[in-house]
Structure 1
């Protein structure tokens, strides 16, 4: 589309949520507090309740954080590419991203579980150097003995039962060996990174940087509503390039620390992209549902089927992208068949191809079909992207499976032999989503839901797909 310049919208089209925001804010806040209190109460009556609450909280917090970061990426990437079509749909994403300080505060329980040093959530937080060194020496002697037994077996001697322990994942192996803390000796080379003080400093750095970027874009955008200064758009476009680089580095290391370090033995260089792709999928789903809801309330009347069509195309693209990254991670690690990485998929039931599935195999199959194949087919047609009801259905569907994906990634570190009934996890989800919703609504309440001062607003209003 050609550049159409700024246009004048009526007062009714640029009015803020105002007083209508406060019932939503109050409901979200009350649901949030109630959900978290109920989660703590239910966990109290469960075996290993404190640890269960820690994992349940982490699942839903990772989900909400991924949505917030996905919205921030949408803001950055549309400025980077000077996307005129997105101006009308950008403000909800800006408000959700600007809620990053609230999301940062919600990470306090996770940080507390790490800083307590009892290893309930992050096992490496329980390991002191002296005990790790002793375990490392013991493991070296064990490895030498096992190597000798394997060599004897290759020469025709029957392999002793002790060597068959190598078929187990390192956490089962630790139970056989009677170790108090599983797999201490594997993390010796990671102690410079996986230690409590450095973890805390890194996390604060991540939250400050991401919050700073999100708030700067929010304040600049709402300032432009008043000044209509086109130079502010240019400034946001210039800053988008370095911000994208910073964002990419931070979200990669953040996902390593937040989720991958639950299992300090496992590693994957693709995991940061895996977390990002699921977060973008969930963020786009939330944006579409928010836009549909706001239109039901009488806001954003200039958002047309053309805008939903483009958002639907992005949604479809990230369905495929998530599947591509998920398969790439699985294929590369499983094909290499290294014990240091393949066990991670075995624990999660992803070894059904060789007949060694477990209770989590049903989740693997659910993700294969529900997160990739079924929505891929459902969003493929032009009609699905241009029909609000159909698009809303797929957004809700994908949000369920994005949460289930994180549940599958995280919860086997709590219990990999059975699937815990997700009561505490869903209560934590209600709690964290409620508080996050309240924060986002409060952020947006006093401002127009349309970036009325953006010089590309006219282009967005006139946008039409070919």
Structure 2
């Protein structure tokens, strides 16, 4: 047995809490500036981006826990509390995302449709959620969208989103509940329950995550479609979640917690960040290559927009940040075991996938502004900072409510503490 105390409890210091409120205030300021300066569509698009990003990390938290239970992994037992915190935040992240989407759909403005006519449009999902889009008598009529109206209609859209997010949140809540029960009473019963719930979750998420990403992001450009889009996004969920998980563990280590976590755990996390970065790149390249090679107009228009001068630099920066940096920095064994290098790569991945999501959303919503360097401005930066502050605040606040930073009665805890990679 080890001499580690697994009863340590995280204390959310007042100074740290105050800094998170400063970041949240910056985000609120940027949001108000966006709406008051006449950039409501741009602001809604950025709120959708960050709401989606927040939800994606929380879904990852449930997914990570489920994978560990189903695979009977021992190495990760001592760090499960962190992804459990992400899972606990999923109901809040889901509510934020749904509020943003509802506000964007039901708030309208006068704008130009694809034919250049001045019509009433919602700020989000204007290609299919605008009034009269399926009525042949309306100037908004779109025959292609009318053919998809059985699926792309507002009531069914919200039913699907609420169903997906409720299922993920409920199953994540059960995993956290069983882990806390395990801490209280010990035994193997709650671990077996966690295994069963994890199996159910992985089946549910496997079938529904592609649909969730189709609805939330791909339907912004409802004329375009890609069967690889869901898995491409899911790979981004995994790698960004791993990066945020690693950064959280490093923060706690530097603050004097998680003394049982060592360079071997960091190595395992680094391997996964490295591996899923390669996987994400494979899916990115497949989606791009197949549509480029086929050269079908309704498919390549998606990439054509992103090759415009205002977006082209960011399009290729996406590959540099999310593929080249993890590949070149984490290729060696030693790099994965160094906290500073891991921190650098994980911050790069978090920012890189923000660019990735930004490229999925902005060309099809706001379109190009003026120059590549004006595409990302105060609104984008401030809303990102605000959500980062909100996420850190909620994560650390939720973490402080756990009685212990490790699931102390997990059957594989000792194996995790002695985790070693040759």
| Pairing of 1:84-163 with structure 2 (within 5 A) | 84-107=74-97, 108-116=99-107, 118-123=121-126, 124-128=128-132, 131=135, 133-134=136-137
Q: CA deviation at 1:134?
A: 4.1
Task: Write the distance in 2 (CA, Å) between the matches of 1:286 and 1:130.
Answer: 42
For the aligned residue pairs, the C-alpha RMSD in angstroms reads 2.0
| Contact 1:21–1:442 (Cα < 8 Å) also in 2 | no
Q: Using CA pairs under 8 Å that are at least 6 residues apart, name the structure with larger relative contact order, 1 or 2.
A: 1
TM-score, length-normalised on structure 1? 0.82
| Contact 1:28–1:437 (Cα < 8 Å) also in 2 | yes
Match of 1:439 in 2: 394
Structure 2 unpaired stretches of 5+: 109-120
Q: CA deviation at 1:434?
A: 2.1
Task: Write the distance in 1 (CA, Å) between the matches of 2:160 and 2:14.
Answer: 35
What whole-Å deviation, never above 9, does each CA across 1:133-156 have from its counterpart, x for those lacking one? 247xxxxxxxxxxxxxxxxxxxxx
The correspondence for 2:147, drawn from 189, 197, 200, is: 189
| Pairing of 1:315-334 with structure 2 (within 5 A) | 315-334=273-292
What whole-Å deviation, never above 9, does each CA across 1:6-38 have from its counterpart, x for those lacking one? x57655x422114x3555445434532x13421
Match of 2:421 in 1: 465
Structure 1 pair 214–30 and aligned structure 2 pair: CA distance change class (3 A): farther
Q: CA deviation at 1:432?
A: 2.1
Structure 1 unpaired stretches of 5+: 1-6, 136-179, 350-356
Match of 1:449 in 2: 405
What whole-Å deviation, never above 9, does each CA across 1:83-137 have from its counterpart, x for those lacking one? 0001112111111121111101211122222244642111111132553x247xx
TM-score, length-normalised on structure 2? 0.90
The correspondence for 1:407, drawn from 336, 358, 361, is: 358
What whole-Å deviation, never above 9, does each CA across 1:31-50 have from its counterpart, x for those lacking one? 32x13421232213434x22
Computing the radius of gyration from Cα coordinates, the structure with the larger value is 1
Structure 1 pair 414–254 and aligned structure 2 pair: CA distance change class (3 A): same
| Contact 2:232–2:284 (Cα < 8 Å) also in 1 | yes
Structure 1 pair 431–306 and aligned structure 2 pair: CA distance change class (3 A): same
| Contact 2:168–2:201 (Cα < 8 Å) also in 1 | no
Match of 2:309 in 1: 358
Task: Write the distance in 1 (CA, Å) between the matches of 2:199 and 2:178.
Answer: 16
Q: CA deviation at 1:279?
A: 1.6
Q: CA deviation at 1:55?
A: 0.6
| Contact 1:233–1:454 (Cα < 8 Å) also in 2 | yes
| Contact 1:122–1:262 (Cα < 8 Å) also in 2 | yes
Match of 2:69 in 1: 79
Size of the alignment, in residue pairs?
Answer: 403
